[in-house]
Amino acid sequence: MHKLVIALLLTSMVFISCKKGEQTTSEATKTAYQTFGASISANEALTANEMLAKFQNLSLGDTINVKFASTINEVCKKKGCWMKLDLGEEQESMVRFKDYGFFMPLNADSKEVIVNGKAYVTEISVDELQHYAKDAGKSEAEIAKITEPKYTYAFEADGVLMKK
């Protein structure tokens, strides 16, 4: 009987020690990233270059659900209500947040992120472009130079992971 108790105790200790050494994907994500919006995983994210290729194949009005990794070029300096992500080749994506439901830290420029949501191509009006320039802290002279609408690679994120 004594040997049986010792065997069960040793077996239990082995399982407990193995369990502590494992880390689930969500636990690994939580330690490496700060989460904004919906909880998402870092798995299977496209690269910025792969995302640029997807955007280039979209027409005005097309929408795709996708997740990609990139670096933040710029964040709204008033609230953190939008950000621009680098796509390479001097291209970027304008990211807004689903239902205005969450914001990014104002000092998140140059941080690595993974965004999940809907990608689409849109036309941004002169008024909206000037508003974004003002939010970004651009000078009145820079804002006045904005005189034409712009087609842009847009993204509505429902979740963001920002590398710690």
Q: 49: number of CA atoms within 13 Å, CB side? A: 1
Residue 131 identity: H
pLDDT in tens, 100-138: 999 999 999 999 999 999 999 998 899 999 998 988 889
In the chain, what are the domains? 34-163 (2.40.50)
Banded model confidence at residue 9, pLDDT cuts 50, 70, 90: very low
Banded model confidence at residue 14, pLDDT cuts 50, 70, 90: very low
Looking up tokens 């690679």 gives: 153
For residues 131-142, b (16+ Cβ closer than 10 Å) or e, as one string? ebbebbebeeee
